[in-house]
Amino acid sequence: MIRVDHISKSFTNELVLKDISVSFDEGKTNLVIGQSGSGKTVLIKCIIGLFEVDEGNIYFHERNLVTMSFKERQLLRREMGKLFQGGALFDSLTVEENVKFPLEMFSSLTSGEKNKRVDFCLDRVQLPTAHKLYPAELSGGMKKRAAIARAIVQNPKYLFCDEPNSGLDPKTAIVIDDLISDITHEFHMTTIVNTHDMNSVMEIGEKVVFIYEGAIVWEGTKDEILNSSNSKLNDFVFASNMAKKIKEHL
Amino acid sequence: MGRVISRPEKNKIYYKQVLNEIEILGINSIGIVIIISIFMGAVITLQTRYNLENPLIPLYLIGLTARDTMLLEFSSTIVGLILAGKVGSNIASEIGHMRITEQIDALEIMGVNSASFLILPKVIATVVFNPILTLISMFVGVFGGWLASVTTGALTSTDYIYGIQYWFVPFYIIYSLVKTIVFAIIITTVPAYFGYYVKGGALEVGRASTKGVVTSSILILLFNVILTQLMLA
């Protein structure tokens, strides 16, 4: 479980996160939703320690990231996987080398065991024949899948996904969503997905947190979203004409 | 800087990285160093010959001048400036690109000390290999002077070879190599700093690259003066 306790973050006098407290459940796909610029990405970057918080604490199973030394953070991060918006695969390495990279850095597995683990992860994300391809040779969906394989190769306890569906067609987006959800349950990870894609919310959102102008204004499940009386949430969720029509038929 | 020189997570991977960087930053620079050094050696020899019209001055001093110019200044400082352009822009743009495409964040999330992983092997590679480039430049530059002498008839091969052997001060080589090591640290760390902290997109990476090259070039010139005063005064 990850527990965020009264955190605030500002950039040059602009308060981007305002006294946020929330917990993300273990073994579940937790979604952080909100408009562009609402503070979703900043929240995730604070949770993983890429941004320092101004106030508050962040607990990973009672280990406080905020008070950790640089070395302790490095050790904690080895329990994390992250899927970046653009994939963030290393350009100069093949897919196989990208996925193997964390193993080369930190594991004591033999070469054969590492190859076996890489094969397993690439099979798991349905990329069994992409070993020798470079990131530049992959489609958007393939890049995301390769990045997921790299994120899970070390059996992380925590998985973070930043806009996993951005730039993908609806069909590929569903494949990625399902993959994230399946992997979360299969490996019993605490997964946090940052998105503004309502299809993702309805597809995989077991716990949903809505951020509005840097503050959490609603928490619940995907089923509760449809019947919520929170006007800000409704404005966001039912922004499109199609969503409004669906709401009318509920 | 503290993060750059911290203990590597896995020595084997860093060792591989150092070898890789020696190839990219060092071995791939041999060609340009040879070309520039041979022409500079030739030009120094011809210009010195052109300015020495006095019959009382022996011609072998042209060889001595070419040798000492290469040893004292050209092979360390001018080659350092050239490498600041070639290697520095390479480093700043590579690291800057990794920053804006979140590859550095990806390293951090894996628990890798990205500053050390990306910068330390480059520093080690240039500190190890740039002195070799300097020695190559010295030999090739002096050879370029000889080639110019014999092909243009500016002075005889015998005079030139006598000149390059005349009053040889071995300390000049040590002085030059010390400068090269200091310049190697500047050439890698300064552009790496600008690349590592770049924010924005491709345009900012280009700007970081330019800033890295300009700043490292100025620092090379500044340290050239300081080291010369310290070591030769």
- Do A30 and A107 lie in one domain? The reply is no
A104 with A222, same domain: the answer is no
A86 belongs to a structural domain: no
Instruction: Please tell me the distance from the alpha carbon of residue A215 to that of residue A52, in angstroms, as a whole number.
Output: 17
pLDDT for res B1 = 64
Q: State residue A172's pLDDT score.
A: 83
Nearest to B189 by CA among B63, B95, B58, B99: B95
Q: Is the CB of residue A176 less than 8 Å from the CB of residue A197?
A: no
Of B3, B9, B101, the CB nearest to A105: B9
Domain co-membership, A166 together with A239: yes
User: Which residue from B minimizes the CA distance to A102?
Assistant: B110
Out of B13, B105, B111, the one facing A75 most closely (by C-beta) is B111
Tell me if A84 is assigned to some domain. Answer: no
B contacts of A160 (beta carbons < 8 Å) = 109
Query: What is the enclosing helix (H) or strand (E) of A80?
Result: strand A80-83
Whether residues A101 and A38 fall in one domain: no
CA B58 to chain CA centroid, nearest Å = 33
Record: contact A105-B110, CB cut-off 8 A: yes
Structure tokens at A7: 């955190």
Does pTM surpass 0.95? no
Same domain, A130 and A40: no
DSSP string covering B41-54: HHHHHHHHHHH---
* In-domain check, residue A187: yes
A47 lies in the same domain as A67: yes
Q: For residues A111-135, b (16+ Cβ closer than 10 Å) or e, as one string?
A: eeebeebbeebbebbebeebbeebb
What pLDDT sits at residue A168? 82
For residue B65, pLDDT beyond 90: yes
Query: What are the pLDDT tens digits along chain A (250 aa)?
Result: 899 999 999 998 899 999 999 999 999 999 999 988 899 999 999 999 999 999 999 999 989 999 999 889 989 999 999 999 888 999 999 999 999 999 999 888 999 999 999 999 999 888 999 999 999 999 988 999 999 999 999 889 999 999 888 888 888 888 888 989 999 998 899 999 998 888 888 888 899 999 999 999 999 988 888 888 888 888 888 877 777 777 677 6
Q: To the nearest whole angstrom, how far is the Cα of B14 from the nearest Cα of chain A?
A: 10
Q: For residue B108, give the nearest of A77, A104, A105 by CB distance.
A: A77
Residue B101 in contact with partner chain A when CB distance is under 8 A: yes
Query: Residue by residue, what is the 3-state secondary structure of B132-156?
Result: HHHHHHHHHHHHHHHHHHHHHCCCC
Q: The domain containing residue A24 runs over which residues?
A: 2-79+159-249
Query: Are A69 and A17 within one domain?
Result: yes
Give yes or no: residues A75 and A186 share one domain. yes
The answer to whether the CB atoms of A50 and B113 lie below 8 A apart is no
What CATH number did the domain enclosing A225 receive?
Answer: 3.40.50.300
Q: Tell me, what's the pLDDT at A176? A: 87
Q: What are the structure tokens assigned to A22, written together?
A: 């929330």
Into how many domains does chain A fold?
Answer: 2
Half-sphere exposure of B65 (CA within 13 A, CB side): 19
Stretch B134-158: mean pLDDT, rounded? Answer: 96
Asked whether the beta carbons of residue A77 and residue B3 sit closer than 8 angstroms, the reply is: no
Question: Residue A198 has what pLDDT?
Answer: 84
